[in-house]
Structure 1
Amino acid sequence: MDPVFKALADPTRRRLLDRLHEHNGQTLGELCGRIDMARQSVTQHLAVLEAANLVSTVRRGREKLHYLNPVPLHEIQERWIDKFERPRLRALGAVKRRAEEAMTDKPAFVYVTYIASTPEKVWEALTDADLTASYWGHSNVSDWNPGSRWEHVRTDGSGIADVVGTVVESERPTRLVTTWASPENEGREDTYSRVTLDIRQHGDIVRLTVTHEDLAHERDLADVSLGWPAVLSNLKSLLETGSPMPQEPWLMPSR
């Protein structure tokens, strides 16, 4: 928690978080335009926020987009607020949901997790049909070449795909971008969402950033906000312990 409190202690860094709260997914240039400070100084402040896991970054072409990551703030909630002020926790939960929304035409979700593994093993766990079946409840099936089709296939032997899409970018083992659609909407690109998996070495561990954007409705944002953390927790368990959780997280009742 010390890096988080250190990051929050500086008023400039709090202003940067406020700017991302207002408009998530900004470039360095956009952030500098709102703060009267040299570009190098803003970069240094962002580095502190990123080291505290309060800000995550995603590459899109030549641009580097900055996103507010509310997970450390949620951990502070659980440790110091949840036990004492549940009504305020509910209010902060509403703020968190708003903070995760990019101020664009469609909602977006960003999630960062750290895994004691290697980029190659994380890539394999995300793209291998047998491995995804073991912790996701579906098999991810494709040759994972740019332009190829991919399917999220049920493991009950029916061969039914609940999600289909196209591989947009594939840079093993660091970056995978795919479109997502329900089978009945295949071919209707205006209904597609887009998922970017960014896999980076972070010291001796791996930092995995998932960005799910262009979601059609607020209910879709609510669904992925529950689904991705559950799936990635199961993935983390598989890679770090050799087996997924004894019960799928998405089947466990919420409190």
Structure 2
Amino acid sequence: MDDDVFFALSHPLRRELLDLLTEKGGRTLGDLESHLPVSRFGVMKHLKVLEAAHLVVSRKAGREKLHFLNAVPIQEVSDRWIARYAVPFVRTMADIKSIAETMEKEKEMTSEIQPKHVYELYIRASAETVWEIITSDAKTPLWQHFNMTSRTDWRVEGEYAWMMGERVAICGKIVEIEPLRRLVLTFSAQWAPDVAADKPSRVVFEIEPLPGKACKLTLVHDDFGGETATSKAVVGGWPESLSRLKTLAETGVPFLLERAV
């Protein structure tokens, strides 16, 4: 998998495609083509390489095919190749760069943008194993961002809370439960005043069983109601959480990150 990711990132046009999808998810082929000095066929060829490395995922919307960045493989490469003691420093440097770039881009963005974050990963574990991890409060700190704990009323309309210590960081309600296949939650961020002011968004977990005791997990986070503080903040947490979930499902051993104080 690392070889596919490194190969996909080796071409400057493919990196530019990822930059475009980082700036705005849900782009059509025509939209991406308009930003690059290559033909429609050339863009399709590069997208095919990125999709093969699972760095880009696509979703049908009527007659159009929308493309989204999937940051999980990059997070997995980071977890493998960056020493744990260096992670806080590297992420801080990346955050500084990201904040500066975001401030510039926000000047050009309109309030009509409807963000949607789509993550897709293939896991060498059964759908039953992945479902059990996602729906087990006891296992939440083994894969969630910041090792959050949780308490959940596991029924439709039941409430849940993901917590950092005794403080609720995220809360919401269960909208749908289809065992082993689909879980839909409302998502209300509470970790800071700016995100707490946003309306609840939506998170959808979908699990597709595959031959050979494997499955595909897709997570869609959308319905933000526009470009909100929450829509910008969650892009940092989901790749790490899903990468840790994959490690736990495949090995049975949690990948616990030590946080800088």
Distance 2:180 2:110 in 1: 30
User: Does the residue aligned with 1:191 lie in a helix, a strand or coil?
Assistant: coil
Alpha-carbon distance change, 43 to 67 in structure 1, aligned in 2, over 3 angstroms: same
User: Does the residue aligned with 2:221 lie in a helix, a strand or coil?
Assistant: strand
Match of 1:67 in 2: 68
User: Does the residue aligned with 1:149 lie in a helix, a strand or coil?
Assistant: coil
Distance 1:173 1:116 in 2: 15
Alpha-carbon distance change, 28 to 182 in structure 1, aligned in 2, over 3 angstroms: same
Match of 1:254 in 2: 260
Q: Select the residue among 234, 246, 250 that pairs with 1:240.
A: 250
One-letter code of the match for 1:225?
Answer: G
Kindly report the root-mean-square deviation, in angstroms, between the aligned alpha carbons of the 2 structures. 4.9
- Render the CA deviation track for 1:8-54: whole Å, top value 9, x for unaligned: 3444423322321332232334334545533x653332121022232
Unmatched tracts of structure 2, length 5 or more: 142-148, 191-197
Percent identity between matched residues is 35
Distance 1:104 1:171 in 2: 36
Match of 1:141 in 2: 153
Q: State the Cα distance separating 1:225 from its structure 2 match.
A: 2.8
User: Does the residue aligned with 1:181 lie in a helix, a strand or coil?
Assistant: strand
One-letter code of the match for 2:220?
Answer: T
Match of 2:48 in 1: 47
Match of 1:118 in 2: 126
One-letter code of the match for 1:254?
Answer: A
Alpha-carbon distance change, 25 to 201 in structure 1, aligned in 2, over 3 angstroms: farther
Q: 2:72–2:243: 8 Å Cα contact kept in structure 1?
A: no
TM-score scaled by structure 1? 0.61
Q: 1:70–1:96: 8 Å Cα contact kept in structure 2?
A: no
Distance 2:229 2:17 in 1: 25
Distance 2:248 2:74 in 1: 26
| Mapped pair 1:195 → 2:196 | no
Matches within 5 A, 1:132-211: 132-136=137-141, 137-143=149-155, 148-152=156-160, 163-167=171-175, 173-181=180-188, 191-200=199-208, 204=212, 205-211=214-220
Aligned residues: 230
Q: State the Cα distance separating 1:59 from its structure 2 match.
A: 5.7
Alpha-carbon distance change, 92 to 154 in structure 1, aligned in 2, over 3 angstroms: closer
One-letter code of the match for 1:135?
Answer: T
- Indicate the structure whose relative CO is greater, using CA pairs within 8 Å and at least 6 residues apart: 2
TM-score scaled by structure 2? 0.60
Alpha-carbon distance change, 203 to 224 in structure 1, aligned in 2, over 3 angstroms: same
Match of 2:193 in 1: none
